[in-house]
Structure 1
Amino acid sequence: MPKVTLSGPHTHKGKPVTAGDTIEVSDEEAKWLERRGRIAPPAVSHSPIVTAPQTGKKPKQENGDHGAD
C-alpha cells in the first residue's frame, strides 16, 4: 500500500486529515487522490552540495579601467 502526502484537507476512513499529512492508501485510493490533485508533489531530496576543492589561491582581480581613456 502506498503512502501519500496530502496537498489539502481530506477525510480518510472517516477521520479528517490536513495538508502535509502522510497517509497509507490502496493503489485505487492513491489514483483517485492523484486525479483530483490532492497529493502533494514529492519532497525534493537535498543532496550534499559538491564544490571545487579550495586551492588557497585568491581569484585574479580584473583591472577596473578596461582601457577606457
Structure 2
Amino acid sequence: MKRGPETGVVLEPMKILVPTGDPAATKWFESIGLEVVEVECSSLVGPRNSGSIHCAAGSIIRDPEPIGY
C-alpha cells in the first residue's frame, strides 16, 4: 500500500473508526501507531450506495483540540 486508506472517522487523537473488511487498511493504520476500532456497517452503507463510514457518521460535534497536541 503506497498511501493510506481513504475512509475512517477520527474519534480522538490517535484513534480511528473504520469499517470491517479491509485488513490491509487496519494493518496500515496500526503500523503508524493508531488505535483502530472496526465496526460492521455494510448493512447501513451498501444497500443504498451511500458512501462509507465517514458519510454514515455525518457531522460530529467535538470538544476543542487539546492545547499543545
- TM-score, normalization by structure 2: 0.29
Q: Determine which structure has more spread, i.e. the larger CA radius of gyration.
A: 1
Using the size of structure 1 for normalisation, the TM-score is 0.29
Return the structure number with greater helix share.
2
